[in-house]
Amino acid sequence: MTEATSAESLLGAHLAAQAGLFLRTLPDVRQGNLRRVGGALHTFGELLDADWARQLAADLATLSEVLGAEQAHGRRLVRLLASIDSLTSAEAAVPGPRAEGGTGREAVGLLAGHPGAPKARALMERQVSLARSRAHSARLQELGSARFHALADRMTLLASDLPLRDRSGDRQPAEALLPAVRATLQELAESVAELPLERAATPYNRDALHRLGGTVTPESTESDDLPWRQVHTRVLRARYAVEAVQPLLGAAAERPLELLRGYGDLLERQAEAAAAAEAAAGAARTPRITPATAYVLGVVHADQRLEVEAARHAFGVSWPDLAHSGWLTDPWLARSN
């Protein structure tokens, strides 16, 4: 599947492809593109000039955050407006199929006809749009900065002249790369072991509203999102690591990749819902809003935390598919040897 004959040339080809994509799509930088490069630098750093790889990975992470913020706020806005529109919906639903035991019924949101809904909607829209506009300006500024141009130069270097630790590298690809992939999977398993996963797998566990962990601050009580964020980072890293060595693994990589993509989607959903919940809570701290507006924002806040609980539940239920598959613990990665 590849012409690479050494670990170095396989890694080089992977990074060159990603760097090429980065340069071709400028100035539309894609999150996945940045993350794939950063992930490879992190996972396969042992083959590369260590300081260079660490610095580039850090700069890519910063860039990813700056450039990704506009889209993140855009998705948050869509999510919050969808939540409030659904909560206030009073439209007749399509009658359910008899198989579901449904007689035709109306789909009515908890806040249908609530007098606070229009103002709450407008307030969230204004605040998140403002944050998105600021992120837009920051993105444009970043794209015109000397820092960004220096980074683009380094990406060019990545494509043409990768700073390898061992320039005469001729190690077997499987021998040199697969243990690093295995390590990312093991780190992922260790992070997941820190989660309250059994409870997450129990539906309606009250974690969404009643049992957030972490420390209370005046701004937020939701810092138990941190361990979940770490698992999210590591799921992405594991996914990109397996993708990078897919030429070595062929079809054996398909099922684990499918699972890792699914976990990534679930964890992104819970992260976005958690951020949306904080945005709703923040909007409710706006001075001089009406009680009706605040009430609606309270329901939206709870609704988004419920989304967090639902996504974590889905993760808790589906994690055993990977955990019990042997892909985390065992020499499946060596099969291709």
Considering the complex, what minimum distance in angstroms separates the CB of residue 294 from a second copy? 4
Considering the complex, what minimum distance in angstroms separates the CB of residue 218 from a second copy? 7
Which residue in 21, 87, 162, 248 binds a second copy (CB under 8 A)? 87
Site for a second copy in 112-141 (CB under 8 A): 112-113
The contact mask relative to a second copy for 158-197 (x = CB under 8 A, - = no) is ----------------------------------xxxxxx
Considering the complex, what minimum distance in angstroms separates the CB of residue 313 from a second copy? 6
Q: In degrees rounded to 5, what are phi and psi of residue 182? A: -60, -40
Angle separating helix axes 50-87 and 291-323, nearest 10 degrees: 130
- State yes or no: residue 211 binds a second copy (CB under 8 A): yes
Interacting stretch for a second copy, rule CB under 8 A, among 155-163, 168-176, 259-267, 286-294? 286-294
DSSP label of 119:
H
Considering the complex, what minimum distance in angstroms separates the CB of residue 282 from a second copy? 12
- State yes or no: residue 81 binds a second copy (CB under 8 A): no
- State yes or no: residue 149 binds a second copy (CB under 8 A): no
Residue 5's closest CA among 171, 142, 234? 171
Spatial CB neighbours of 335, under 8 Å, sequence gap ≥ 6 = 249, 252
- State yes or no: residue 209 binds a second copy (CB under 8 A): yes
- Determine the Cα–Cα distance for residues 15 and 155; give it in Å rounded to an integer: 9
- Is the CB of residue 260 less than 8 Å from the CB of residue 239? yes
Peptide bond into 287 cis (omega under 30): no
92 forms beta bridges with 106
The contact mask relative to a second copy for 9-48 (x = CB under 8 A, - = no) is ----------------------------------------
Q: How far is CA 87 from CA 121, 133, 143, 175, 277, in A?
A: 11, 27, 39, 54, 15
Interacting stretch for a second copy, rule CB under 8 A, among 141-149, 175-183, 204-212, 266-274? 204-212
The contact mask relative to a second copy for 252-281 (x = CB under 8 A, - = no) is ------------------------------
Which residue in 31, 186, 221, 318 binds a second copy (CB under 8 A)? 221
Residue 155's closest CA among 254, 279, 64? 64
Q: Under DSSP, is residue 48 helix (H, G, I), strand (E, B) or coil? A: strand
Q: Which two tokens stand for residue 110?
A: 């908890």
- Determine the Cα–Cα distance for residues 269 and 121; give it in Å rounded to an integer: 21
Q: Under DSSP, is residue 164 helix (H, G, I), strand (E, B) or coil? A: strand
Residues in contact with a second copy, counted by CB under 8 A, come to a total of 64
Nearer to a second copy, 81 or 164 (CB): 81
Considering the complex, what minimum distance in angstroms separates the CB of residue 296 from a second copy? 7
Q: How far is CA 288 from CA 121, 128, 136, 285, 292, in A?
A: 16, 18, 28, 9, 12
- State yes or no: residue 199 binds a second copy (CB under 8 A): yes
- State yes or no: residue 226 binds a second copy (CB under 8 A): no
- Determine the Cα–Cα distance for residues 272 and 86; give it in Å rounded to an integer: 18
Interacting stretch for a second copy, rule CB under 8 A, among 3-11, 16-24, 44-52, 106-114? 106-114
Which residue in 27, 32, 102, 326 binds a second copy (CB under 8 A)? 102
Q: Which residues bind a second copy (CB under 8 A)?
A: 86-87, 89-90, 93, 96, 99-103, 105-113, 192-199, 203-204, 206, 208-216, 218, 221-222, 224, 284, 289-299, 301-303, 305-306, 309-310, 313
